Amino acid sequence: MNPLRHLARSWLPVYGLLVLTFLFLPVLIVAPMSFSDAKSLEFPPPGFSLRWYQSLFGTSVWVDAGINSLVLATLSSSIALICGTLAAYVLVRGRFFGRRLLEANFVAPMIVPGIITAVALYIFFARIGLLGTFPGLVLGHTILAVPYVVLLMQAAIRGFDIRIEQVAATLGASQFRILTNVVLPNLWPSAAAAWIFSFVLSFDEVVVTLFISGAHLTVPKRMFNELIIQVNPTITAVATLLIAFNLLALVILLVVARRGRLFEQAA
């Protein structure tokens, strides 16, 4: 074996471990600080306390921001799942002029910088009267989530045997009935994964929210506002909960993906 290739293979696990350590290092710092009894940010913590979690859940502004984030993420991810799934089915199974252009339009929010999307939504919503409203905020987050749903569901629909749909069509089923009664029941793991991904994306979104939310607060926006005024140790508690929330979502995604593979094997 080539010595250089052997050296590269031996160092690859070490390099990967160093990268993971670098990425995980903020968690190892922020999480312990959230349980600190210090009056300011201090690492390592001088003692253990739940004061910052008590401050977090005892403040109505933080609680209201958390409720707003949950409602917003639930609505936007659900709407994005419906719209994105329908769009993905049309893009995969449809044969019409401009299909590639339409597909590129759906993917555009992933490519365009977030600040550009935020400014565009700000101007557009201001003209139609949705700026600063909760429905406008839901619509903005839905626009950000739809491209991810489209990509995930396109891959799932392409992997679904079209002959099953053709059999249903020969038996008299309409296109909508085929989608709802044949395709989607077999693609529920992908749909669940797309919904969870959209939910996390909406829950963590801050740039677009700052531009179009008006007086409506979400957890990321509240964190941003707090950091502008002062570095409050309560932020460490919020950050730790967000990290735990994202890790939980990742675990659920892995479980859904595993069950999806088992379902496909059983089928």
pLDDT tens digit sequence for 222-234:
888 777 766 677 7
List pLDDT tens digits, range 127-178: 998 888 899 999 999 999 998 898 888 888 888 777 877 787 787 777 778 7
Range of the domain at 64: 59-266
Residue 194 belongs to some domain of the structure: yes
Tokens representing 151?
């990509």
Within a domain: 48: no
Q: Which pLDDT does position 266 carry in this prediction?
A: 46
In a domain, 6, yes or no: no
Give residue 50's pLDDT: 77
Please check whether residue 24 lies inside any domain of the structure.
Answer: no
Alpha helices, H only, the chain: 3-34, 51-57, 60-93, 99-111, 114-128, 134-158, 162-170, 175-178, 184-186, 188-204, 207-212, 219-229, 234-266
State the Cα–Cα distance between residues 258 and 228, nearest whole angstrom: 42
The whole-model pTM stands at 0.79
In a domain, 47, yes or no: no
Residue 198: name the closest of 249, 149, 155 by CA: 149
Q: Has residue 71 been placed in a domain?
A: yes
Residue 216 backbone dihedrals phi, psi, to 5 degrees = -75, 130
In whole angstroms, give the CA distance from residue 34 to residue 38: 10
Tally of domains within the chain: 1
In order along its 267 residues, the chain shows pLDDT tens digits of 555 565 556 677 777 777 777 777 777 777 777 777 767 666 677 777 777 777 778 778 888 888 888 999 999 999 999 998 888 888 887 777 777 777 777 777 778 888 888 899 999 999 998 888 899 999 999 999 998 898 888 888 888 777 877 787 787 777 778 777 787 777 888 888 888 888 988 888 888 898 888 888 888 888 887 777 666 777 777 778 878 877 787 787 777 666 655 545 444
- Tell me, yes or no, whether 188 lies in a domain: yes
Cα separation of the two ends of the chain: 44
Answer positive or negative: Cα dihedral of 163, 168, 173, 179: negative
Q: What is the CATH number of the domain that holds 109?
A: 1.10.3720.10
pLDDT at 76: 93
Look at residues 54, 22, 47 and name the one whose alpha carbon lies nearest to residue 32: 47
User: Please, which residues bridge with residue 48 across strands?
Assistant: 36
Q: Is residue 251 part of a domain?
A: yes
